[in-house]
Amino acid sequence: MTTPTPSVSFIRTRRPVIIGLGLLLTLVLIAQVVYPFLFKRYVGEVSATLTYPNSQTLTQAEFESLARDLSEAARQRAAAATVRTDQDDFARQIKIAMLMETPSFVRGHEPTHIKYFRDAGIRRYDGPQTCLQCHATIRVTHGDGRVSRVDTLDDLVNSVHFKFQSDDAGFSTFGYDGRQVNASGQRRIPLGKINRACGIPGSFTWTGWAALIESRPEAAHGEPVTRSEGCGQCHIGGNYYPATEKMMPVGDVPDAAKAGIDCLICHAAEYDMNQRYVLRDAVGLRWNQDRSLRAALSVGRVTNRNCLNCHQHNLGGDVYLHNVAAQSPGEHNPRLLHAGAKRGTPFSPADDVHAAANIQCTDCHVPEGHKIPRGRFGVDLVANDLPGKDVACETCHSKAPHNQSEHKALLNGHIARIACETCHIRELQPNNVVLRDWVHPTWNPEEGVFEPTDIYRSGEPGKGFTFLWFNGNGTFLANALGSNPNGRSDYDPLMRQLVRIEDPEIVAAVRARAVELQRTYPEIDVDDYVRAATDPLSQLAPELLERRRAMIRDNLRAAMDAGESRIYPFKLFNAMMYEDMGNQGPFGAMILPFDYTRYYETGDSHASVIQALKDPILVRMYQPPFKRYMMDEFMSYFGVSGGWRAEYPLVDGRLRQVEPRWMRQMGTLMLNHGIQRAGRACRDCHAPDGILDYRALGYDEARAAELTDLDWLESAQDVVNGQD
């Protein structure tokens, strides 16, 4: 009998370890190489090393010149505060100029990163890899007082500002099936943004991430002007597509995409929005960004201007007078500016008392690292990094904020039923969009493109926005949930306020626009158009309408009655879009996207939908893996029974079961900015023609009459003030 050699014996005894290591290496290979390769092929996405035109290396002399330029304003202020004022003005200005040029004064008033870059020998900014040289980890203070240190890049890549969706719990959204989205015990799916204000609903940002459009504005006398458009302009990822990998249960975004993250748009005081435009390279279309050393040297804490680079587009709108970012639309391929405002509540010193007081966005939305809270209340399906963290008026103002008025007891008594915003947001911007038709675009000669037709705009209460009971929760399609604390069940906005427009002035305006559209689109039946726009439930078959009533009663009523409700203001919005009628339920059907380039250039909305549906990610959405992974669950939340019907709606180049429809109810968007110091007067709400419809809010006839009887209210006020 032969004795095994030591090497053979070693191998035999270590065989399980060797096999385990082999399996581990195989899994790593699959996860790091095979899966990413197959994933990209499956969704049709590409990735490559990204370069930026203004990421340039400076000489030492150029660096020092830039440093002096960046510190000039600070040196001017400091020198002016140092030199005595009780002297001849000319002599004083000479002394200020001399002091500003003193070497120690120059160094003492430079932005802090100038010294860091100078000492480290950094003369070129290369995106995150430059930042991470010093900031590989960051210290995070959490809301409960804990302090931790986290990996900076990982923290950012997993934030909503990068991936703009989440499969975590914490949504304040309820599906029409009655389930809270991604709640404990349910199969979680990636969700986070559904936006009916644009032609690329959030689920389809792949098809509209970056587009170049040939416009023909009047001012160019028929010559084409290339414009930039797409969702990517307001997101910090710089790749050719959104962070699709983050929607999957495994996998990570490629290193090239991480290298394209735009750190400076949030952190640089000197960020140049003229660098935000779509560029085309050998791989495809993507958004450029400011990677200049000038911007990098101005890095500091996030300010309002940084936030409003993107968020004023949503708040005040592109054409808002004080939208600073919109005044720098791009030095090449300038961004298209949208005429209508999504919310109409700008955050600027001219229109918001907090902005005028120089309160910073992060004073209320207190971040934890790169995670930024949205607040516990949310009516729309937008992901929230810190769902357990409050963003509320009471944080600063307490629950008894009226301490100077002679009627403070009466005013503070309103807090139990009336939200602060109800009194202190008196109006929205007049270009606030209420009804938008994407199916019948109209030509804008000034911009030189076809654009969606805004059927109705208004910033007035009762027209552009309304008032609803709200307990902090919303539905899958952004309908505020709440109930009258009196317990009456006839408060039913999903069958009343949000599905009917009865104001004669609005109806007349809708009709006038329909008549105008009919000149371009003769197939429009004006009466049918007005009926669908002002009574969207008229588009539902009787059996769907009855099912809708039952689902509100059986699925949503408990969510409406939960917690404490107060009356809040909500911006109203509805849109006419193309829908996949094979996936229709009582609350609407699956919205389909448009191809931006085809839409804006030709005005052919039908052809634009066909083009968008050819995108690989849309094709995959109608295949079994996507159906099983997320679409069945998605449609259940949407209120569509039987799961996702994966019948691809494009056959032989023709649309199948696709029809234009108005969404079956108005969306309601929260209004929290555009706050005015002076609130409403009693008469605004309690006169017979006041802004609050007490009957629609669930009060019976007797109580509604009391609440609009000013003599009775003044008598009650006298009692409160001890005058009776």
For residue range 544-555, list pLDDT tens digits in order. Answer: 999 999 999 999
- Is-contact 44 617, C-beta < 8 A? yes
User: Of 37 and 490, which is predicted with more confidence?
Assistant: 490
pLDDT-derived band at 86 (thresholds 50, 70, 90) equals: confident
Is 60 exceeded by the pLDDT of residue 717? Answer: no
At 308, which helix (H) or strand (E)? helix 304-315
pLDDT-derived band at 722 (thresholds 50, 70, 90) equals: very low
| Three-class secondary structure of residue 180 per DSSP | strand
pLDDT in tens, 374-390: 999 989 888 899 998 99
pLDDT at 668: 95
pLDDT at 715: 65
User: Of 350 and 89, which is predicted with more confidence?
Assistant: 350
pLDDT at 30: 64
pLDDT in tens, 258-271: 999 999 999 999 99
* Over residues 666-676, mean pLDDT: 95
Select from 234, 240, 235, 245 the least CA-distant residue to 210: 240
C-alpha angle with apex 672: 667 to 676, nearest 5 degrees? 130
Residue 418 to residue 569: CA distance in whole angstroms: 10
pLDDT-derived band at 250 (thresholds 50, 70, 90) equals: confident
| Three-class secondary structure of residue 442 per DSSP | strand
- What residues contact 531, with CB distance under 8 A and at least 6 apart? 538
| Three-class secondary structure of residue 133 per DSSP | coil
Residue 319 to residue 338: CA distance in whole angstroms: 7
User: Of 399 and 572, which is predicted with more confidence?
Assistant: 572
pLDDT in tens, 292-313: 999 999 999 999 999 999 999 9
> What's the chain's average pLDDT?
90
Phi and psi torsions of 139, nearest 5°: -90, 130
Top mean-pLDDT range of 10-24, 199-213, 329-343: 329-343
Select from 67, 104, 117, 57 the least CA-distant residue to 270: 67
Measured from the Cβ of residue 388, the count of other Cβ atoms closer than 10 Å reads 10
The percentage of the chain sitting over the pLDDT mark of 70, rounded to a whole number, equals 94
Q: For residue 192, what are the CA distances in angstroms to 102, 378, 467, 575? A: 53, 12, 25, 20
Residue 674 to residue 652: CA distance in whole angstroms: 50
Is 90 exceeded by the pLDDT of residue 36? Answer: no
- What residues contact 518, with CB distance under 8 A and at least 6 apart? 524, 526
pLDDT at 712: 67
| Three-class secondary structure of residue 600 per DSSP | helix
Residue 428 to residue 210: CA distance in whole angstroms: 30
- Is-contact 576 439, C-beta < 8 A? yes
Residue 622 to residue 613: CA distance in whole angstroms: 10
Tally: H helices and E strands in the chain: 31, 18
| Three-class secondary structure of residue 81 per DSSP | helix
pLDDT at 335: 96
Alpha carbon dihedral 130, 131, 134, 138, in 10-degree steps, equals -160
Dihedral of alpha carbons 104, 105, 108, 109, sign: negative
pLDDT at 723: 40
pLDDT at 20: 77
The percentage of the chain sitting over the pLDDT mark of 90, rounded to a whole number, equals 70
pLDDT-derived band at 28 (thresholds 50, 70, 90) equals: low
Is 90 exceeded by the pLDDT of residue 713? Answer: no
Is 90 exceeded by the pLDDT of residue 614? Answer: yes
User: Of 641 and 506, which is predicted with more confidence?
Assistant: 506
Select from 495, 463, 455, 494 the least CA-distant residue to 478: 494
* Over residues 622-632, mean pLDDT: 93
* Over residues 418-422, mean pLDDT: 96
What predicted TM-score, i.e. pTM, was given to this entire model?
0.91
Measured from the Cβ of residue 489, the count of other Cβ atoms closer than 10 Å reads 12
Residue corresponding to tokens 């929205």 = 428
pLDDT-derived band at 253 (thresholds 50, 70, 90) equals: confident
Is 90 exceeded by the pLDDT of residue 38? Answer: no
Q: For residue 306, what are the CA distances in angstroms to 246, 303, 311, 381? A: 25, 5, 9, 24
The DSSP letter of residue 436 is E
Residue 560 to residue 49: CA distance in whole angstroms: 50
Measured from the Cβ of residue 269, the count of other Cβ atoms closer than 10 Å reads 17
Is 80 exceeded by the pLDDT of residue 27? Answer: no
pLDDT at 26: 76
Is 50 exceeded by the pLDDT of residue 721? Answer: no
pLDDT at 227: 97
Residue 365 to residue 598: CA distance in whole angstroms: 39
- What residues contact 125, with CB distance under 8 A and at least 6 apart? 55, 264, 291, 292, 293, 295, 296
* Over residues 435-441, mean pLDDT: 97
- Is-contact 430 405, C-beta < 8 A? no
pLDDT in tens, 680-698: 998 999 999 999 999 999 9
pLDDT in tens, 495-546: 999 999 999 999 999 999 999 999 999 999 999 999 999 999 999 999 999 9
Residue corresponding to tokens 């509209």 = 208
DSSP string, 518-565: HHH-TT--HHHHHHHHH-GGGGS-HHHHHHHHHHIIIIIHHHHHSS--
